[in-house]
């Protein structure tokens, strides 16, 4: 068990094996989720090895050796109390860490650095940046609208809706849907949240790494649900401000999102 714990705790973010199926996290919140996931596995392995050890011990040392009936024991109160209390303690520990991390991940900042209003619809996404105005346009703010993924159209992957956000700043997402329930998922955020009509949902992340990723809808929302892809670009704050200023100028000149 010591060898396994050593193996599982060395190089926690760099080793695909120790992430147990998750991608490397790109937000502060994602790192917390990954640590909770790893801790849960270590706890499960500890329980597993204890149980397997006891089974193997009983199999080896209490084999049938003669026809003599083994010593009969029953109603061992201390053992039965232990059977009852130990699972409660284990559940309590898992509950404590889950509740603590969930409260952290669900916390909303009083003054987010960047606000993004996300609208899910059949079958694509629209992203609006209400802090960045575009006078005389329909939306009045910087809007990012793309095309639904379509593998038959060459170059279509460059036309997906673009979500651009900066590193090191709190980014708040406000999620709404115009039709059915969708779900907003960026895999390396280690996080998904439902996008429900008439029920705004919110969450916040602080990106820690730059990179380009694919976002997805993860709630079956109709015929082209699987095509609800979008591009996520995490850039430096300077690059973000440059991009948003360029979008403001472009959208002001053309009267709205392209």
DSSP 8-state code for residue 189:
G
Window contacting Cu ion (CB under 5 A); options: 62-70, 100-108, 177-185, 237-245: 177-185
CA–CA separation, 40 vs 37, rounded Å?
5
- Other residues' Cβ atoms within 10 Å of the Cβ of residue 91: 10
Interacting positions 219-238 with Cu ion (CB under 5 A): 221, 225, 228
Q: Is residue 144 near Cu ion by the rule CB under 5 A? A: no
DSSP-assigned letters across all residues of 104-166: HHH---SS-SEEEEEEEETTEEEEEEEEEE-TTSSSSEEEEE-----TTSTTGGGGS-EEEEE
**Residue number, 116 or 141, with CB nearest to Cu ion:** 116
Window contacting Cu ion (CB under 5 A); options: 9-17, 102-110, 181-189, 201-209: 181-189
CA–CA separation, 208 vs 170, rounded Å?
10
CB 129 within 8 A of CB 114: yes
To the nearest whole angstrom, how small is the minimum distance from the Cβ of residue 21 to Cu ion? 23
Identified binder of Cu ion from the candidate list 29, 142, 182, 189, rule CB under 5 A: 182
CA–CA separation, 121 vs 118, rounded Å?
10
- Other residues' Cβ atoms within 10 Å of the Cβ of residue 4: 12
Structure tokens given for 40 = 């849960």
To the nearest whole angstrom, how small is the minimum distance from the Cβ of residue 189 to Cu ion? 17
| Residue 213 C-beta-side C-alpha neighbours within 13 Å | 23
Window contacting Cu ion (CB under 5 A); options: 37-45, 82-90, 109-117, 175-183: 175-183
CB 170 within 8 A of CB 29: no
To the nearest whole angstrom, how small is the minimum distance from the Cβ of residue 217 to Cu ion? 3
> What is the per-residue binding string for Cu ion in 186-225, x denoting contact by CB under 5 A?
-------------------------------x---x---x
To the nearest whole angstrom, how small is the minimum distance from the Cβ of residue 128 to Cu ion? 18
Residue nearest to Cu ion (CB): 221
To the nearest whole angstrom, how small is the minimum distance from the Cβ of residue 193 to Cu ion? 13
To the nearest whole angstrom, how small is the minimum distance from the Cβ of residue 218 to Cu ion? 8
Note the residues at the interface with Cu ion (CB under 5 A). Answer: 182, 217, 221, 225, 228
């Amino acid at each position: 068990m010591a060898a396994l714990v050593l193996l599982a705790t060395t190089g926690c973010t760099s080793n695909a094996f120790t992430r147990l199926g998750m991608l490397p996290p790109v937000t502060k919140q994602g790192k917390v989720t990954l640590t909770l996931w790893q801790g849960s596995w270590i706890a499960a392995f500890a329980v597993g090895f204890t149980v397997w050890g006891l089974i193997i011990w009983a199999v080896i040392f209490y084999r049938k050796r003669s026809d003599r009936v083994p010593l009969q024991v029953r109603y061992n109160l201390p053992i039965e109390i232990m059977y009852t209390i130990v699972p409660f303690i284990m559940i309590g520990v898992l509950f404590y860490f889950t509740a603590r991390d969930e409260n952290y991940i669900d916390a909303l900042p009083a003054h987010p650095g960047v606000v993004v209003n996300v609208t899910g619809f059949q079958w694509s996404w629209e992203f609006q940046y209400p802090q960045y105005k575009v006078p005389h346009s329909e939306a009045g703010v910087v809007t990012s609208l793309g095309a639904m993924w379509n593998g038959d159209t060459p170059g279509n992957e460059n036309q997906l809706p673009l979500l651009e956000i900066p590193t090191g700043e709190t980014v708040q997402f406000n999620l709404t849907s115009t039709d059915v329930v969708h779900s907003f998922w960026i895999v390396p955020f280690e996080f998904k949240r439902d996008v429900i009509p008439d029920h705004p949902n919110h969450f916040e992340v602080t990106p820690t790494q730059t990179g380009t990723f694919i976002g997805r809808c993860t709630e079956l929302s109709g015929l082209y649900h699987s095509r609800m892809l979008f591009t996520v670009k995490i850039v430096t704050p300077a690059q973000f401000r440059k991009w948003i200023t360029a979008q403001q100028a472009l959208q002001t000149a053309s009267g709205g999102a392209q």
